[in-house]
Amino acid sequence: MKRTFLLCTILLFCFSSEIFAADGFGRCATGGAGGSIVTVSTAADLKRYVEPNDSRYIVQVTGTLDLGSIGGGVAIRSHKTIKGISPGTTIIGRLGFRDDANNVIIERLNITNPKYNEKDGISVKERVKNVFITHCTVYDCCDGMIDITGASDYVTVSWCKFYYTNAHDHRFVDLIGASDSDTGDAGKLQITMHHNWWSTLCKERMPRVRFGKVHIYNNYYDSSGNNYCVGVGNDCNILLEGNYFNSISNAWKNYSTSPEHQGKIHWQSTGNIFYNCSTPSWAPDSVVFTPPYTYTRESGYNVPARVMSGAGADGNDLEFPSSPTNLSASAGYAIVKLDWNNNSDSDLVGYNVYRSTTSGSGYSKLNSSLLSDSNYIDSNVPHDTTFYYVVTAQDTSSNNSGYSNEVFGGLYGDFTGNGIVEMNDFVDFLDFWLLNDCNQTADADIDENCIINFQEFAVMAENWLK
């Protein structure tokens, strides 16, 4: 019994302390970071901390909260994080937002709303912005599961699972843009949806889009018996990448009302997989927007296993940290010094450095243990070889990022950094010649005698035009 209690305590601590880094269009959301941390177990306490003002709170929810006693829902104000602290944490009712709310994170919650207050699960509307919804299970809502409307903007929905347990008529999951007449939505509704799972009995709107720019990548669709998945509505731009459609009807469908307002979708050559289903007969491929953020698109073939393991309130943490940026190299004799920007991922634990003699492939890891600092010195570099370097980041769940930008170094005499020792390097070499200054000659001083002379010239000559 004691061992079981201890194990449960450890698991609960790990779950409640888990923090996911916002990404996509909702990447600027920080929620209640820096504010007070409170734990609530009643609907009244939830309302107390998320509604009255814009103070920063991280609201940890435990147990099952039926919001019927407070009118069926809450209206979340700015600068809040609402997170479950165990896999079974459940909210029955609607999570809504105060008009013009900003900077909200919702994570690790089971949410259902079969009867209260518009019957949505999460309703993001009326100029709400900077919202990050991740690792939630939303089920059996009698209207939308997650609807984003009313000129709301900069929202990411990731690693969420949607399903129904009964086949009622209105199984319309995610609406982006409420009406063709809501022209104020134009230029808003910039939404990212990635690694979500539309599952049992989902019928339509996965999502259904009007006006917005919506990036839909690496999602899993296995809602057999549906009508359609992605709805292409008036004046929208949809980028569809690396998704896996399994035994569904109509991966997308046109809902635009006229040629003048025809929505656009880009889906060709973007890695979407169609298993036991076909490409829709209405399938024009259009030029759409380029996402203004970095992201890692996985192979569509990997999506089912990854998403089924990671999506939902009880999903594993399978999110990759962001790739390190701005890697640079400076070479001395037999060493290469590397430096890169610090990652901002909140669950980062360190970095790994790799090198290869071939650009773009064949990398081998150099460090034996994770690096805590964003710099590294490779001190095992033959003076006649060019090496190519990349760096990755690792998080607390041992997920590794993609590679950083590649840099090279190691070939003595390549002072201009173009991978070959040539006349321009010789001109730079002459600037070092016979200088008797340890600081100025450090990057070119082979024998570390603080002067550049024929010892260095001989090595440079050996590498000439390599």
> Among 94, 171, 205, 208, which one carries the catalytic annotation?
205
The single-letter code of the amino acid at 331 is A
State how far the Cα of 363 lies from the Cα of 356, in Å rounded to an integer: 5
**For 241, phi and psi rounded to 5 degrees?**
-135, 135
b/e map 174-195, b = 16+ CB within 10 Å: bbbbbebebeebeebbbbbbbb
Distance of CA 413 to the CA centre of its chain: 41
State how far the Cα of 403 lies from the Cα of 117, in Å rounded to an integer: 47
Q: How many residues does the chain have?
A: 466
Is 3 a residue of the active site?
no
Q: Which are the contacts of 289, defined by CB distance < 8 A and separation ≥ 6? A: 213, 237, 239
Instruction: Report the 10 Å Cβ neighbour count for 457.
Output: 15
Which residues participate in catalysis according to the annotation? 205
